[in-house]
């Protein structure tokens, strides 16, 4: 069997097949997150887009695999899986928090490779632009220190992680993801050509509206920003508004082969 096909199924989860949709949307979860974070978005966006949510190693059904704790290796493993033979539909990318860093870097690599895989739009959520990086070291804290960070950010993680067994099971993935996000170094290069849409909560303690707006300088395509009420995980509380925003942008994309 084609090793690539196996790998693709391992890394890219499609909860709602929509093969007739005009666009494929690849979604990258936050640190400690898993593909299931994008289940509701997958349902909401069909048939506008077929959503593929990335499942990083070290969690859920991949929990017996070692985590990948650096961005370059994640890119090396992921990028080759995104061009699917026989599926020439345009690619859109969406990433939240650490996932936004990955979506941006994947977009850069695909642009460098050129051709059909170059993304047509990139959604970056809950992540400050690279020139605002602050050299954080959450990944060096003990488990309780990492828990305090997760509680600061809100989201649904806090309560479940007070169970020591659950904590022990998921902490390696959370720590590994934080290490990947916090040791990431932005290497200057050409800006993206695709439109960039920045999304942010108005009370995110780790990504202010202005810091997220900073992504403007990383594209020569159109840039827009949408600010939602909420903290770091605003996209859970404002799910419908976020879905509508993404749908609107995807629906406005030019259809390949039609018009100029």
pLDDT along the chain (260 residues), means of 10: 74 96 95 91 96 94 92 95 86 95 96 89 95 67 72 63 71 83 90 97 92 96 97 91 97 70
Return the DSSP state at 249: H
Q: What architecture is the 3-247 domain classified under in CATH?
A: 3-Layer(aba) Sandwich (3.40)
Catalytic residue among 30, 96, 232, 249: 232
pLDDT of residue 1: 42
Return the DSSP state at 134: -
pLDDT of residue 92: 97
* CA separation for the pair 169, 172 (Å, rounded): 7
Pairing of strands 91-96, 223-228: unpaired
Please indicate whether residue 36 is annotated as part of the active site. Answer: no
Burial label, 143 (beta-carbon count in 10 A; 0-12, 13-18, 19+): middle
**Three-state DSSP state, 179:** helix
CA distance to 10, 11, 215, per residue, from 58 (Å): 12, 11, 30
* CA separation for the pair 50, 14 (Å, rounded): 8
pLDDT of residue 157: 59
Helix (H) or strand (E) segment spanning residue 26: strand 23-28
CB 186 within 8 A of CB 127: no
Please indicate whether residue 139 is annotated as part of the active site. Answer: no
Dihedral sign, Cα of residue 10, residue 241, residue 258, residue 122: negative
* CA separation for the pair 246, 252 (Å, rounded): 10
CB 2 within 8 A of CB 70: no
Catalytic residue among 42, 97, 125, 194: 97
Q: Where are the domains of the chain?
A: 3-247
């Amino acid at each position: 069997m084609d090793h690539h096909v196996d790998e693709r199924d391992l890394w890219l989860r499609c909860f709602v097949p929509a093969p007739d949709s005009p666009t494929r949307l690849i979604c990258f979860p936050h640190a400690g997150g898993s593909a299931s974070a994008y289940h509701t978005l997958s349902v909401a966006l069909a048939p506008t887009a077929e959503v593929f949510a990335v499942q990083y190693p070290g969690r859920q059904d991949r929990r017996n695999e070692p985590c990948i704790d650096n961005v370059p290796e994640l890119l090396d493993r992921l990028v080759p899986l995104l061009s699917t033979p026989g599926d020439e539909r345009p690619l859109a990318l969406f990433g939240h928090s650490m996932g936004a860093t990955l979506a941006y870097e994947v977009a850069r690599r695909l642009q460098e490779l050129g051709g059909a895989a170059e993304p047509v739009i990139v959604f970056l959520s809950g992540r400050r632009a690279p020139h605002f990086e602050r050299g954080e070291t959450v990944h060096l804290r003990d488990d309780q220190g990492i828990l305090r960070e997760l509680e600061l950010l809100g989201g649904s993680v806090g309560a479940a992680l007070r169970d020591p067994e659950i904590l022990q099971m998921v902490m390696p993935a959370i720590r590994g993801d934080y290490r990947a996000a916090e040791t990431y170094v932005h290497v200057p290069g050409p800006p993206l050509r695709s439109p960039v849409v920045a999304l942010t909560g108005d009370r995110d303690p780790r990504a202010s509206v202005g810091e997220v707006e900073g992504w403007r300088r990383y594209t020569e395509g159109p840039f827009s920003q949408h600010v939602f009420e909420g903290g770091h995980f605003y996209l859970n509380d404002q799910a419908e508004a976020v879905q509508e925003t993404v749908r609107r942008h995807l629906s406005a994309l030019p259809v390949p082969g039609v018009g100029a």
